[in-house]
Amino acid sequence: MAKQIVLKCLLFFLGIFPSMAQEALVQQKNGSLKLEKVNGVKPRNIIFILADDHRYDAMSFLKGGKAQAFISTPNMDMMAAQGAYMQNAFVTTSLCSPSRASILTGLYAHKHKVVDNNNPVSDNLIFYPQYLQNIGYQTAMIGKWHMGGEYDNPQRGFNYWVSFKGQGTYLPNPNGLNVNGKKVPQKGYITEELTAYAVDFLKTRKKDKPFMLYLSHKGVHDNFTPAEKDKGKSKDFAFVPPPNMEANLHKNAPMWLRNQRNSWHGIEFPYHSNLDIGEYYKRYAETLRGVDESIGAVMAYLKEEGLLESTLIIYMGDNGFQFGEHGLIDKRVAYEASMRVPMLAFCPEIIKPGTVITDVVANIDIAPTLLEAAGVKSPSYMDGMSFYSQLKGHKAENWRTGLLYEYYWERNFPQTPTMHALRGDRYKYIHYNGIWDTDELYDLQQDPYELDNLIDDVKKQDVVKQMNAQLFDILKETGGMYIPLFKDNGTPLNQRYEFGSGSAEFPSNLKKTMK
């Protein structure tokens, strides 16, 4: 036994033993859900609203070159004007299930191990609502769960439950919902129906207890389907292609990226179809209108009850989404349009109108922030940090200087490789695993569209070396020095269009001329 303990410790300090973090979670669960209280913090009512695939700039208050003209989000605009806008919000994995697991646990994907949309969460993981329940909160989960498999049964940490299997459906489904363990028909448009359940929970809650509502929308996941009343509202507007959409603009681009233009996630063969990207984005915008109206409906109820001033409301997207950036659609990659997300917060009692937070915040920070809002300190094993003090207008101490991003290759989407990235205030470093290709470095101040890969620039080698070291330091400190491996799941979507662009040439910076 002693030898096993010594071996585990040795492997952990070498950074190659992944389960130490899991053992810490088991220890927490087998011990107690009790957390240390934060002095002077009154437990606050909390509403966390999550949208699917909502990209960072798809909010109408960002118009003027940053948002398409057909985007309309008046309730999000109001949250930003009267609350806080986190202009540098990111996810640590840009994929539904890993991001949602990170939100619920405060952990990186390599630690919670929900690294794709097929593998379920471990029974050893603790969700932040469990801690809230332990201090007397009523908790509700309403909407998309989608973490590993096609199931919709109630999960730990929630007193009230409404969900659906997998991605669910936008339109009515006779056996579509699971309401507190019972199969119930989905009678209407999904965004409106989830909102109605959310308001019903608020109306029927025990009013002598604090509450936490997690409203998790299907919208705006593809295949984008707007409510009937919102169809056609974008038709008179023009789609403006992003500046980095055209081929051959990207200097020293990796081969995998150039090849992906002609793939399931590329603009030449999107979803193996002849989809029009501009029209696709317009349909996305029309679907997003329903999510924005949902925010307004929830806030309207809070106002009626006199709770709007005191309730902390946080809105964010679970990952970004690309509409042509780098010739791609969808997400997964470490480029800005994929890993950046919208994030807004509203609570007039603590947040001054027009607050803009420039610190890099992420999905792993949601659990620690909501726990602090509830009056308790987050457990030490969480990777995220609370930004509650920034919401209150205070300057953060010892805030992160770089955010880890990770994505692990999926057999069903083989066109995107395993990658780790470090996103700093100025530079982004992207490191690939398992492919013969080039890594990437971008100066985000000089090159916000990530078109000039500086990885081979002699003047930037100190930056590359420093960011490489910092990236691996974070991985080692968090038990991430391994590649999670699971059995094959899903159908490989690996075709190319016969008449599309051909295979990419080998990166020029890796070619060697013999003298």
Question: What are the pLDDT digits (tens) for 289-317?
Answer: 999 999 999 999 999 999 999 999 999 99
Residue 502 has a pLDDT of 87
Query: How far apart, in whole angstroms, are the C-alpha atoms of residue 313 and residue 323?
Result: 28
Residue-level pLDDT at 19: 47
Average pLDDT estimate for 131-138: 97
Cβ atoms within 10 A of the Cβ of 155, count? 17
pLDDT of residue 9: 47
pLDDT band at 515 (very low <50, low <70, confident <90, very high): low
Tens digits of residue pLDDT in 194-218:
999 999 999 999 999 999 999 999 9
Task: Enter the pTM of the model.
Answer: 0.94
User: Are the C-beta atoms of residues 130 and 156 closer than 8 Å to each other?
Assistant: yes
Task: Tell me the average pLDDT of the chain.
Answer: 92
Exposure string over 347-360, b if 16+ CB within 10 A, otherwise e: beebbeeebebebb
Domain positions in the chain: 42-393
Question: Averaged over 133-140, what is the pLDDT?
Answer: 97
The identity of residue 348, as a single letter, is: P
- pLDDT surpasses 60 at 11: no
From first CA to last CA, the distance across the chain in angstroms is: 59
Reported as a single tens digit per residue, the pLDDT across 472-489 is 999 999 999 999 888 888
Give whole-number Cα distances, 258 to 184, 208, 246, 267, 501, in Å: 46, 58, 11, 11, 9
Give, in words, the CATH class of 42-393. Answer: alpha beta
pLDDT digits (tens, 9 = 90+) for 404-455: 999 999 999 999 999 999 999 999 999 999 999 999 999 999 999 999 999 9
Report whether 312 contacts 212 (CB < 8 A).
no
Where do the DSSP E strands lie in 187-252?
211-216
Alpha-carbon gap, residue 189 to 192, rounded angstroms: 6
Q: What is the pLDDT of residue 99?
A: 97
Average pLDDT over residues 269-281: 96
Q: Is 327 exposed, middle or buried (0-12, 13-18, 19+ CB in 10 A)?
A: buried
- Tell me which of 78-92, 118-132, 498-512 is least confident: 498-512
